[in-house]
């Protein structure tokens, strides 16, 4: 009789443990990485005011258990991003916000080269089964119409090729808005980052939803 009671108690404990583990697994924090340049790195902004930190806070405020690592490097080009893609995106990453290309355009790098580098970054992440949301960029007006015609379609082509969610212009709502920019007229100030986060939210929420669904 005592043996049966002990066996029953063991079964109850084992079942409870199993459900506890299942609950822990269900509560797994979604790990995102923002792979980008100074626009991702929060150039000249106080800690906590950059895009990854503010986006993470906004998502948590909506009840989403998400952590966003800032893998932004000021001045980085698509070539630099490709060179560090493997170690900037660690194992265990659930998704990547890929934001690169602004410095390529500012330096007049051939758009074909930029597209080749972005393509290679995406291919690397896809091979590791890491989902990507692509944040697009537009060429600055001073580069001229011919350059813009070659540069601007890069992101749409890559999104279609790899079936990625695309946010067409990372600086949407902030570009050319002096009150939302630093004195350099290029980088967002804290208020500008707020606008970027607000506009980015619908697509990143959908992106996270697809990650969660795929992990079930």
DSSP 98: E
All residues at 6 or more sequence positions from 171 whose CB lies less than 8 Å from its CB, including other chains: 39, 137, 138, 188, 196
d(CA 213, CA 216): 5
Is 187 an annotated catalytic residue?
A: yes
d(CA 162, CA 32): 19
Residue owning tokens 């150039």: 43
Strand partners, 76: none
d(CA 184, CA 73): 18
Structure token digits, residue 70 = 């800032």
Catalytic residue among 38, 76, 88, 114: 38
Strand partners, 36: 72, 99
Helix (H, G, I), strand (E, B) or coil at 188: strand
Catalytic residue among 88, 94, 104, 187: 187
- Other C-beta atoms closer than 10 Å to the C-beta of 181 total 18
User: Which sequence positions are flagged as catalytic?
Assistant: 38, 184, 187
């Amino acid at each position: 009789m005592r043996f049966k009671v002990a066996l029953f108690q063991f079964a109850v404990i084992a079942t409870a443990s199993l459900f506890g583990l299942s609950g822990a697994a269900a509560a797994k924090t979604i790990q995102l990485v923002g792979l980008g340049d100074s626009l991702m790195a929060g150039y000249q902004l106080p800690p906590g005011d950059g895009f990854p930190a503010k986006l993470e806070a906004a998502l948590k405020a909506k009840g989403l258990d998400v952590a966003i690592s800032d893998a932004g490097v000021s001045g980085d080009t698509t070539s630099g991003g490709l060179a560090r893609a493997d170690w900037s995106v660690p194992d265990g990453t659930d998704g990547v916000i890929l934001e690169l290309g602004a410095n390529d355009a500012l330096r007049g790098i051939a758009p074909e080269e930029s597209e080749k580098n972005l393509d290679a970054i995406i291919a690397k992440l896809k091979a590791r089964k890491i989902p990507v949301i692509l944040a697009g960029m537009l060429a600055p007006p001073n580069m001229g119409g011919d350059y813009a015609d070659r540069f601007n379609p890069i992101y749409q082509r890559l999104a279609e090729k790899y079936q990625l969610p695309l946010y067409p212009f990372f600086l949407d709502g902030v570009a050319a808005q002096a009150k939302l920019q630093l004195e350099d007229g290029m980088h967002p100030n804290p208020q500008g980052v707020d606008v970027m986060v607000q506009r980015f939210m619908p697509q990143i929420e959908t992106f996270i939803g697809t990650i969660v669904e795929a992990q079930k």
